[in-house]
Structure 1
Amino acid sequence: MSSANDDQLISRCLDGDPTAFGELVRRYQDRLYSTVYRLVDNTEDAQDVVQDAFLSAYQSLPSFHGDSAFFTWLYRIAVNTAISLRRKQRLVYSIESGRNGESGIEPLDQSESNRPDHGLERAEEERRIQDALNRLSPEHRTVLILKDMEGQKYEVMAEILGVPIGTIRSRLHRARLELRQILERDEA
């Protein structure tokens, strides 16, 4: 693994070094995949979005000015690509009946993991939450995942999504309320 920083790798890439961008891919693909998977809730779609994000970043690298960290810029490309995919899927899913997705939610409470039935309960709870998340708008789903699952700071989220911090806070508040309402309706 290279000890070069992102700026050095970008410079080498722009100078025609084909291995430099490969190092950036190796450095960030797992982190990016984890977030994207939570956004799109499907292995193949997540892989496609990550690949598209890296391709787009590679093609746009000459226009990267370093106003933000490379990963923040790449993250924004990936999140926007995932949101775009979700919007397209929503149109298709509203016509078709249902969707069989995989759960991408992290464990909610690991304190009870020693109980024999914990795995089944946890899987069911993850499925319920993922189903509820899937019913949120892409904007609400994205802010919930970035803040509550990824632990991103408001400033980073604002930079990634290209909106003011106040917008992030209000979307997050509305998203949490909407998610709570969906989960309560499903329990009733």
Structure 2
Amino acid sequence: MAGEVEYTSLDDGVLIERSKEGDQSAFGVLVGRYRDRVYGQIYKMLQHQEDVLDLSQDVWVKAWTRLYQFQGDSPFTTWITRIAINVCYDHLRKKQRRPVEESIDELTEKNGEGEWTPKVDADPLKGIADSEKTEVLLEAMENLSKEQKLALEYMYFEQMEYKEIAERMNCSTGTVMSRLFYGKKNLSKQLEIVLEKHGIDPKNGL
């Protein structure tokens, strides 16, 4: 009992260092602290409980084997969330693609000039109820620049504010806003490409 209390009272930094030395009990405390966060992140992206359970385990296995790479430049929560997001990307890449039955209307809207643009007043994942729709969005995001993709992921997957994103990306708030603006604009173009690849007319839907 005393040992358990000792571990649970330690901060993440100490637990991480002990885990790097092979202390599985210390790592177990980290898992306990952030299990729900990892589960929630994966469920948000995939919307499929069975996949979430399996992939959550994959995330923690990867975290254990790659812990030596963690340098403490960002919080452990950010690092483990990034692993979860990448695990979701890998999972979706490996899945056999099925026809997507959703219209681009759910992800985009026409502006005053008749151009299709991302819905900027709501999370683009809002209304995505299954992994097929999520797959389309994530596939489109993979074709963005690294900076745009990362900024969008921070905003939509981690619900960060502009200031937080700026601190994480080591840039000004204005730069973040620019990356998000052009990222959303490019995302609209990529969504059209991906939807057409799945046999959907991006302007008319099914």
Decide which of 14, 23, 27 is 1:8's aligned counterpart. 14
Map 1:1-188 → 2, pairs under 5 A = 2-89=8-95, 92-93=96-97, 96=98, 126=127, 132-138=133-139, 140=141, 146-148=154-156, 150-153=158-161, 154-155=165-166, 165=176, 167-175=179-187
Tell me: CA distance 1:62–1:146, structure 2 relative to 1, closer, same or farther (3 Å). closer
Tell me: CA distance 1:13–1:137, structure 2 relative to 1, closer, same or farther (3 Å). closer
What is the distance in 2 between the residues matched to 1:146 and 1:72? 10
What is the distance in 2 between the residues matched to 1:47 and 1:128? 18
Deviation at 1:127, TM superposition (A): 5.8
TM-score by length of 2: 0.56
TM-score by length of 1: 0.61
SS in 1 for 2:67: helix
SS in 2 for 1:135: helix
Q: Which moved more, 1:78-87 or 1:131-140?
A: 131-140
What is the distance in 1 between the residues matched to 2:37 and 2:72? 20
> Is the Cα contact below 8 Å between 1:33 and 1:47 reproduced in 2?
yes
Unaligned runs of 5+ in 2: 102-125, 143-148, 196-200
More helix by share: 1
Cα RMSD over matched residues?
3.9
Unaligned runs of 5+ in 1: 100-124
> Which residue of the partner structure matches residue 119 of structure 1?
none
Deviation at 1:138, TM superposition (A): 3.2
What is the distance in 2 between the residues matched to 1:23 and 1:67? 21
Give the aligned length: 154
Deviation at 1:97, TM superposition (A): 5.1
Larger Rg: 2
